[in-house]
Homo-oligomer: A and B are copies of this chain.
Amino acid sequence: METMIDKYPSRVDGEACLLPRLDPVVHGNKPGQLSRAELSAFESNGYIVIRDLLNEREINMLQHECERLRRSERIRQSELAVTEPTSGETRSIFAVQTVSDVFAGLVRHKNILSAVRQLLGGDVYLHQTRANLKPGFRGKEFYWHSDFETWHAEDGMPSMRAVSCSIALTDNYEFNGPLMLVPGSHMYFAQCLGRTPDGHYLKSLKKQEYGVPSDAQLEWMVKEHGIDVPKLQAGSMVIFDCNTMHGSNSNITPYPRTNIFAVYNSIENTLQEPFAAEAARPWFLGNREPEILEPADFSEIGNAMPALPA
């Protein structure tokens, strides 16, 4: 395999800079699920909100599925689960489409795929998926980060041609640790300081120390662009660019915050060798066996499910 040029050097020594983005934000211009206005908002802000992606029946079904996975001792002890440092409870589950037919259907939802294909300009595959079960009372914060920085440095994703879909299964209130985004931050690449330690992902999923922006970088971006906290009702979705700076505060309220997170990458942007780490991360964090996704009718999958207990 020929060596790729590193457009976005990170995990550097000395000075961490804000570099300009060298890739388009919207790739291609085919029609699809998203309107001109939505494409243009995505281009400026680095994210858009899609309301009412799922109906109440579908939301209930997915919540039920999350609860099943959360309670599974087999999953809790598997490599797919991230557990709370103190309580040991399951906080995130990776590669959810591999352990659940319902989630396997959701990630191929035809409306999601149509929007994602439009943004990324053609065929896409799953880079990573995750169920985030941010509990009430003791939900921890996620510090600010650009997903792309980690995917580039530790997984070898060459270009910014991927998007994350965060599908809300519970209402996001202002007070239960909602997703915060810095609109416009996707136009800069915030270099991060420090060489990546071996096996970094084992720690970073619980508490990130490398691959986080500096106070000065964040301060500048927030001063320039502010912070958006989209109000999300259960069943709606945020699509955000792989390089949009985002994070969330802790959640001491009794309201849990559950979302499904699916990362779509262009089939023309498959993973190379990591740009700033010794070894690539495992398959459930950065998929190296791309399969082009075909859309599915999610409501039909829901109808085929057995009735849920009341």
Question: What is the size category of the interface that chain A forms with chain B?
Answer: 20 to 34
Q: Does A219 sit within 8 A of B, measured CB to CB?
A: yes
Copies of this protein in the assembly total 2
For the complex, give the distance between the alpha carbons of A227 and B251 in Å: 13
Within 8 A of B (CB), among A202-226: 215, 218-219, 222-223
Q: Write out the residue numbers on chain B whose beta carbons fall within 8 Å of the beta carbon of A158.
A: none
User: Do A227 and B175 form a contact, CB below 8 Å, given A215-B254, A254-B222?
Assistant: yes
Q: Which of A40-48, A96-104, A136-144, A235-243 forms contacts with chain B?
A: A136-144
Q: Is the interface of A mostly helix, strand, loop or mixed?
A: loop
Given B144, B227, B251, which contacts A249 in the complex, CB threshold below 8 Å? B251
Q: Does A229 sit within 8 A of B, measured CB to CB?
A: yes
Q: Write out the residue numbers on chain B whose beta carbons fall within 8 Å of the beta carbon of A248.
A: 252
For the complex, give the distance between the alpha carbons of A247 and B251 in Å: 11
Contact A175 B249 (CB under 8 A): yes
Q: Does A174 sit within 8 A of B, measured CB to CB?
A: yes
Contact B141 A254 (CB under 8 A): no
In the assembled complex, how far is the CB of residue A288 from the closest CB belonging to chain B, in whole angstroms? 32
In the assembled complex, how far is the CB of residue A214 from the closest CB belonging to chain B, in whole angstroms? 10
Q: Does A296 sit within 8 A of B, measured CB to CB?
A: no
Q: Does A177 sit within 8 A of B, measured CB to CB?
A: yes
Q: Does A39 sit within 8 A of B, measured CB to CB?
A: no
Which of A177, A215, A249 has most B Cβ within 10 Å? A249
In the assembled complex, how far is the CB of residue A174 from the closest CB belonging to chain B, in whole angstroms? 4
Which of A174, A177, A215 has most B Cβ within 10 Å? A174
Which of A136, A222, A251, A253 has most B Cβ within 10 Å? A253
The 3 A-B residue pairs whose C-beta atoms are closest, nearest first, are A174-B174, A250-B250, A249-B249
Binding site for B on A (CB under 8 A): 136-137, 141, 143-144, 173-175, 177, 180, 215, 218-219, 222-223, 227, 229, 247-255
